[in-house]
Structure 1
Amino acid sequence: MGEEMRVREPSVLMVDDEKRVADAYALRLEDVADVTVAYGGEEALDTVDGGHQPDVVLLDRHMPGLSGDEVLDRLRERELRTRVIMVTAIDPDLGVLDMPFDDYLSKPVEREDLYAAVDQQCRVLAYELLGEYFQLESKRAVVAAELLPEETANNERLADIEEHLAEIETRVRSLLPEAEELLSSFSGIDR
């Protein structure tokens, strides 16, 4: 894969209680991603609760206080639109089959493998978001085509959908180089 990713600059949250390790992985990604570092589970949760929605979370499993497994469960409870890659020295066992992570990398992780994993998870996220976008946009387009403007004016539900569409579109464009082509081909369909 080389030293580049196909996705544009993703937002990555690196979570590891070992400052040197967290900083080393963040340094590996700084040229290709917007990286935020959290030196523990509580700090990671505070970061996302503060409004930061990373595209990818790189999460160590073995941390004092809140373990990576607990952080993972709490991230999933928050229903964030983010992908989680466990980056850990803990060898996986059968227990990982029940864990809601998206990828699992065993330390140490080479730069190319880190890039590839982040890139892959960002593309998966972008396509998930596109599916949601297309579903909402088709509903919005049908309503706009079939109802009179005075029927749709000041409709809170429609306004919420339009706001959500704009947020999704911005996020997809930040992740996928081919987003413009995908979005324009969808909007070109006559409903």
Structure 2
Amino acid sequence: MSETAEEDLPVALLVDDEKEVADAYALRLRGLCDIETVYDGQTALDHIETGEIDILLLDRHMPGMSGDEVLDRLTEAGFSGRVIMVTAIDPGFDVLDMPFDDYLCKPVDREDIRDAVAQQCEILGYETLGEYFSAASKRSVIETELPEEKRTEHDDYQTVVERTEQLRDRATRLLDDAEQLFDTFEGIEREGR
């Protein structure tokens, strides 16, 4: 990923009750993503419910709501990003049933945390592209076949329009080559002859 303005970067939320540790990891991620740092599980869920977070870096052992509890509540909180556990807890067989995408044992060096976040951003970027291409194909065929006055009155169509715009923005934030991929997609003739 290139060095760009913060609003163009993936958004990461780092959750750790040890302020110094969280702030140190946040510094290591500077320039790679727009990093937000919180120090407890409930505040993490509040952030997730109010904003689009691409990558969640989550400590397991925290007072109050543990990282494991946060992990269990992500779906109901509307989280659609990737989760990296960053923790001092040595993994056991319990991790086999936990819905995370990567697991880093503390202490984590600068390059490892940056590489893990970059990798998860790329994975999420391509997942997002898949969703975008599916929604954009539907949007395109409707725009080709139905007049604008019918489209503007159809709620499901408007939902697809909004969703494609959100997905395009997210993919652009996550992937350096997104615009080239959009151009290729848009260059495919989908209209009947």
TM-score normalised by the chain length of structure 1: 0.92
Name 1:131's counterpart in structure 2. Answer: 130
Q: Shift in Å at residue 31 of structure 1?
A: 2.7
Judge conservation of contact 2:13–2:57 (CA < 8 Å) in 1.
yes
- How far apart, CA to CA, are the structure 1 residues paired with 2:109 and 2:170? 27
Name 1:103's counterpart in structure 2. Answer: 102
- How far apart, CA to CA, are the structure 2 residues paired with 1:90 and 1:153? 53
- How far apart, CA to CA, are the structure 1 residues paired with 2:61 and 2:149? 57
Structure 1 residues 31, 151: closer, same or farther in 2, change over 3 A? closer
Cα deviations across residues 45-75 of structure 1 (Å, max 9, x unaligned)? 11122x2221101000001111100001111
Name 1:160's counterpart in structure 2. Answer: 159
> RMSD value over aligned CA atoms?
1.5
Judge conservation of contact 1:76–1:100 (CA < 8 Å) in 2.
no
Q: Shift in Å at residue 7 of structure 1?
A: 8.7
Report sequence identity in percent: 53
Pick which of 154-163 and 90-99 moved more. Answer: 154-163
- For the pair 1:17 / 2:20, whether they are aligned, the reply is no
- Amino acid of the residue matched to residue 26 of structure 1? A
Judge conservation of contact 1:7–1:175 (CA < 8 Å) in 2.
no
Judge conservation of contact 1:7–1:119 (CA < 8 Å) in 2.
no
Name 2:48's counterpart in structure 1. Answer: 48
TM-score normalised by the chain length of structure 2: 0.91
Q: Shift in Å at residue 6 of structure 1?
A: 5.9
- How far apart, CA to CA, are the structure 2 residues paired with 1:166 and 1:7? 23
Runs of 4+ in structure 1 deviating by more than 3 angstroms, as ranges, are 5-8
- How far apart, CA to CA, are the structure 1 residues paired with 2:149 and 2:30? 49
Alignment of 1:22-101 (within 5 A): 22-49=22-49, 51-101=50-100
- How far apart, CA to CA, are the structure 1 residues paired with 2:184 and 2:139? 16
Judge conservation of contact 2:56–2:84 (CA < 8 Å) in 1.
yes
- How far apart, CA to CA, are the structure 1 residues paired with 2:177 and 2:152? 33
SS in 2 for 1:77: coil
Q: Greater relative contact order: 1 or 2 (C-alpha under 8 angstroms, separation 6 or more)?
A: 1
Q: Shift in Å at residue 171 of structure 1?
A: 1.0
List gaps (5 residues or longer) in structure 1. none
- How far apart, CA to CA, are the structure 1 residues paired with 2:136 and 2:98? 33
- How far apart, CA to CA, are the structure 2 residues paired with 1:153 and 1:33? 36
